[in-house]
Structure 1
C-alpha cells in the first residue's frame, strides 16, 4: 500500500487560507488598480482612446504575432520533443542541453545579436523569427517529459489495425501529450503578448510598445492604462481558452494508460533531418547572437567605451534585485502552493486559480500599475528597490507556485502523521519534515524566479530606483540607440550571470528527483530517510 500524497483535510486550514488570501490580494493590486483608474477616468477621454485608428492596428499586430509565434513554436517543439524522448539518438544528453539553451536567452538580447549582424531586420517577420525560436523550449521541455512518462501501447495496437506511423501516433500518443502541448503553447502565447524588448528593437508596433510610449508621455497616462487593460484582457482570454482546452483534453485522456512500455523509434534515413531540426533552434536563438556578441566584445569601439566600474555596479544591482524579487515570489507562493498540495475543495481551487492570475500580466502592465499605485497610495516607496522586488514577486509568483506545490505534494502525508503522533505541533512538523524534504523544490522555485527577474526588462525600466541600472537596462539603453559595440560587454555579462542560477536550477531539480526517490515508501532507503527526517 502506498502513502497518501495529498488529502482533503478534515478541518479547514484557516492559517494557510488567510496567508494565501493575503498573497492573492497583493498579487491582484496591478489588475485592481488598472481597473479602478480606467473606471475613474473621463468617459470622453476613454472614448477618444478607443476611437483612435491605431488601436485596432495594435491589437491586430499583437494577436497576429502571438498566434504566429505560438503555432511555430508548437510545430518545431513537438517533433523536437519526440526526437529527444522517443528516438534512438547518440549523445542524447548533449542534444537535451542544446534544446534548453534558448531559455537563457532574453528576446531583446537575441534581437540585439541579429540586428548587430543584419541591421536591416525589422517588422513582423524579424520579430516572428526571433520570438519563435527563443520560445520553442517552452513546448519542447514539457512535451518531452510527457512522452517519457507515457507509453506506446496504444500506438502498437493501432499499428496492428493497419494505421500508419502518423495515424498511430495521433491515436495513441497525442492524447497523452496534448495537455503538455497546450501548457507550452499557453506559455509561448503569453510570453509573446508580454514581450517588449524584442518587438521594440525590430520596430514592430504592438500593445506593449504603445503602452511604453504612452507612459513616457506624461499627458497620456490614461491612454497607457486603457491599453494595459486591453492587453490584460487578451492575456486572460488566452488563459481561459487554455483552461477549457485542457479540461477537454483531460476528459479524453482518462482512458489512456498512465504508464507502460515505451518503444524507441529508429530514425533510419530521417536521422539527418532530425538532427538538423534539433540543431536549428539553438543555432538561430543562441549561436548566432552569441557569435555576434563575442565578435563585438574585443573591437576597438568596445574597448574604448568599456566602463568596468559601471559594469560591476550593473552586475551587483542585477544580482541583488533579482534575489530580492525571488524572495518575494517565494514568500507569496509558499502558502498557496502548500495549500493546493495538501487540501482540496472549491475554496482551495479558487485561491490557487487566483494565484495564477499574474500569469496573464505582462511585465509592462505590472510596472505601469505599480507606478500609479505607489504614487497614489505610498509615495515614499516610489522608485525604490522594494517596489521593484515586489513587482518581480508578482510577475514570477505563478512559476514558484507550481514548483512548491509539486515539491510539497511529493512528500507523503504519512510522514506528517507520524510526526504528529510523536507530539510535534503542525508548525514543527512542517519545518522538520515537509519543508526539509520539499526544500529542493522550494529552492528551485527561488532560482526560477531569480533567473526570470534577471531577464525582465519592461517592469525594470519603469520601477527601478533612480540611478540604479541592471544589466538588462544598460543593454537596452545602448541597443536602443544602436550602440551595439558598447552594449556587447553588458550582453555577455547578462548571459554569464543568468547561467549561474540556471545551472543551480538543474542541480535543484536533480535534488528534487533524488528526494522523490528517497521518500518512496516502497523502498527500504525511503523508510530510513523518513525515520531520519522525523527524528
Structure 2
C-alpha cells in the first residue's frame, strides 16, 4: 500500500520533470547554437588551463612568487583602486552639481560632462605622454585615466539622481538632520546601484587597460603579459601572469553582472516624481563650482585636444601618416563592422536561451560572457594565438581569429542590447507560427528576427564604436599587412613620432562624436 501511494505521489513530480525536459529540448537548434557560442567564449579559460598544465604547478608557482610579480600586482591594484576612487569622486560630484543645484547653464554642463567619452583612453594618454615625462608614471596614469573614465560613473549617477524620490530627503531635513547626513543617509543609498555599477565598470576597464598604460610607461599585468608575448612568444610567464589577472578580474566582473541583473529603488508615492528642490549657489560657492568645472573641462578635454591639434600642425614628423589614413579608416571600419556582426550572431542564441529557458545551461549562457569580459584583450589574444597554432595553424593571423577575439571581448555589450528586445517578444507568437506549420528556422527569420531588429541595430552601433577603438587584440591578431587607426597610433607613438600619430588619433575622435552626441541628446530628452 505504501509503495502504491509513493508511486502515485511520484507521478506528478515525474510528469513535471518530463514536461520541463520537453520544453527545454523542443528547440535543439537553439541549444546547439548556444553551445557553440559558449564554446567560443570559453576559449581563454581553456588556454589558461592547458598552459598551466603544460608548465606545471612548480614552474607557475615560481613565476608567481618572483619579486617582479609582486610589483606588478601592487601596481595593478594601486592603479585600478586609484582610478576608480578618483572617478567616483569626480563623477558623483559633477552629477550632484548638475542635477541638484541651480548651476548656470545646467543643460550645457550636462552635455559637456559626458564629452570625455569621445576620447578613447589611449588617445588621451598619447596626448598627455607627448607633453613629456611628467605624466609618465603611476600618479600621472591615475590622473589621466580618471579624467577619461569618470563619465562612466557620472552618467548612471546623473540618471539615478533624476529618478530618485526627493521625499526621503524632505523627511530627513524635516527631522532636523543636516545636509551632509541627509545626503549620506537618505540620498546616497538610492544612488548606490548606479554608483556601484559605474565604479565596477571603471575597475574592470582598468584591470584590462593596456594602450594607455604603455604610453604612460606604467607596468601592470597587461603590459607585462604583452611584453612577454613579444619577447618569448607565448611563454609560461605570460600564462602565469594571465592566471593572476584572471583571478583579479573575475570578482569585479561577477559583481558587475549581479548589478546589471536588476536594480530597484523604492519610491514613496505613485505617479511621476516631484522635482527636487535645487540647492542655491551664490557668491563664493558659485565661483568655486564654476572654477572646478572649467578646470575639469580643461584637463579632460582641453589638454588632450590641444595637444592633438598641436601635433597635427607642427613637429618634424607632421603629415607623415596622412598617406595611410584612409587605409587605416577602411581597416578599422571593416574589422569593427565584421566583428560586430559576428558578435551579434553569437549573442542571439545566448539571450534567447537565457530568456526562454531555465536551467544550468541557460545560466551558463547568461553569466559566462560577463565573467570572461573581465579578461583583458591581451589574454584573449594570447589564447587565440596559442589555440589556432596548435589546432588549426592555417587560421593563425586570419581575419576569423581577430573577429573571434572581438566577439569574446564584447559579447556582453550585445547581450545587454538584445535582451530588452527579446523580453518584449511574447513566446506565444512563436508558438502560433509553429502551430501553422512553420519550421523553427522559418519562425526565427520571419517572426523573431524582425521583432528584435531594433535591439540588433543598437548592439551593432555600440559594438562597432568599441571595436574601432580596440588596440591590444588588434595588434596581436590582425592579418599581416592590415592597419587600423588604433594600431597606427600605437605604431607611430612607440617610435616617438607623435605628429605622425596625430591624424589617426584625430580620426578616432571624429568617429566617436556621433554616437556620443546621440547618447547625450537622448539623455537631455529624458532630463526635461
For this structure pair, what is the TM-score category when the shorter chain's length is used for normalisation?
0.7 to 0.9
Tell me if the contact between 1:450 and 1:501 (Cα under 8 Å) persists in the aligned partners. Answer: no
* 2:382 counterpart (360, 363, 368): 368
1:157 equivalent in alignment to 2:166: no
Tell me if the contact between 2:343 and 2:411 (Cα under 8 Å) persists in the aligned partners. Answer: yes
Change (3 A) 1:264 1:397: farther
Shift of residue 76, structure 1, vs aligned partner: 1.0
**Matched ranges for 1:165-180 at <5 A:** 165-180=179-194
1:267 equivalent in alignment to 2:280: yes
Shift of residue 458, structure 1, vs aligned partner: 1.1
1:298 — aligned with what?
313
Structure label with greater radius of gyration = 2
What are the Cα deviations for residues 219-243 of structure 1, in whole angstroms up to 9, with x where unaligned? 6611111111111110012234556
Tell me if the contact between 1:153 and 1:172 (Cα under 8 Å) persists in the aligned partners. Answer: no
What are the Cα deviations for residues 499-530 of structure 1, in whole angstroms up to 9, with x where unaligned? 345456678x79x99xxxxxxxxxxxxxxxxx
- Alpha-carbon distance between aligned partners in 2 of 1:311 and 1:28, rounded to the nearest angstrom: 36
1:79 — aligned with what?
93
Secondary structure in 2 matching 1:265? coil
Shift of residue 74, structure 1, vs aligned partner: 0.8
- Alpha-carbon distance between aligned partners in 2 of 1:317 and 1:503, rounded to the nearest angstrom: 24
Secondary structure in 1 matching 2:489? helix
Secondary structure in 2 matching 1:360? coil
Tell me if the contact between 2:397 and 2:477 (Cα under 8 Å) persists in the aligned partners. Answer: yes
Tell me if the contact between 1:154 and 1:171 (Cα under 8 Å) persists in the aligned partners. Answer: no
Tell me if the contact between 1:136 and 1:281 (Cα under 8 Å) persists in the aligned partners. Answer: no
Tell me if the contact between 1:341 and 1:406 (Cα under 8 Å) persists in the aligned partners. Answer: no
Change (3 A) 1:120 1:169: closer
* 1:200 counterpart (193, 208, 214): 214
**Matched ranges for 1:233-248 at <5 A:** 233-241=247-255
Tell me if the contact between 2:200 and 2:255 (Cα under 8 Å) persists in the aligned partners. Answer: no
Tell me if the contact between 2:254 and 2:371 (Cα under 8 Å) persists in the aligned partners. Answer: no
* 1:327 counterpart (327, 341, 351): 341
1:217 equivalent in alignment to 2:217: no
1:316 — aligned with what?
330
Tell me if the contact between 1:327 and 1:393 (Cα under 8 Å) persists in the aligned partners. Answer: no
Secondary structure in 2 matching 1:390? helix
Tell me if the contact between 2:148 and 2:300 (Cα under 8 Å) persists in the aligned partners. Answer: yes
What are the Cα deviations for residues 468-494 of structure 1, in whole angstroms up to 9, with x where unaligned? 121111111111122111211111122
- Alpha-carbon distance between aligned partners in 1 of 2:234 and 2:448, rounded to the nearest angstrom: 50
**Matched ranges for 1:368-407 at <5 A:** 368-407=382-421
What are the Cα deviations for residues 147-198 of structure 1, in whole angstroms up to 9, with x where unaligned? 2222112111111111222322333332222111111111100111111111
- Alpha-carbon distance between aligned partners in 2 of 1:172 and 1:316, rounded to the nearest angstrom: 51
Change (3 A) 1:436 1:241: closer
* 1:11 counterpart (23, 33, 38): 23
- Alpha-carbon distance between aligned partners in 2 of 1:427 and 1:167, rounded to the nearest angstrom: 58
2:46 — aligned with what?
32
* 1:445 counterpart (459, 468, 482): 459
Secondary structure in 1 matching 2:373? helix
Change (3 A) 1:496 1:412: same
Change (3 A) 1:17 1:275: farther
1:455 — aligned with what?
469
Tell me if the contact between 1:448 and 1:505 (Cα under 8 Å) persists in the aligned partners. Answer: no
1:479 — aligned with what?
493
1:351 equivalent in alignment to 2:371: no
Shift of residue 105, structure 1, vs aligned partner: 1.6
Change (3 A) 1:242 1:391: closer
- Alpha-carbon distance between aligned partners in 1 of 2:356 and 2:269, rounded to the nearest angstrom: 26
Is the deviation greater in 261-270 or in 356-365? 261-270
Shift of residue 430, structure 1, vs aligned partner: 5.6
Secondary structure in 1 matching 2:181? helix
- Alpha-carbon distance between aligned partners in 2 of 1:200 and 1:171, rounded to the nearest angstrom: 41
- Alpha-carbon distance between aligned partners in 1 of 2:55 and 2:315, rounded to the nearest angstrom: 52
- Alpha-carbon distance between aligned partners in 2 of 1:475 and 1:444, rounded to the nearest angstrom: 28
Normalised by the length of structure 2, the TM-score is 0.85
Secondary structure in 1 matching 2:134? coil
Shift of residue 339, structure 1, vs aligned partner: 3.6
Tell me if the contact between 2:340 and 2:463 (Cα under 8 Å) persists in the aligned partners. Answer: yes
Please list every run of 5 or more consecutive structure 1 residues that lacks an aligned counterpart in the other structure. Answer: 1-7, 514-535
Change (3 A) 1:16 1:163: farther
Change (3 A) 1:250 1:399: closer
1:284 — aligned with what?
299
Secondary structure in 2 matching 1:263? coil
1:4 — aligned with what?
none
Is the deviation greater in 213-222 or in 390-399? 213-222
Change (3 A) 1:367 1:179: same
Secondary structure in 2 matching 1:217? helix
Shift of residue 416, structure 1, vs aligned partner: 3.7
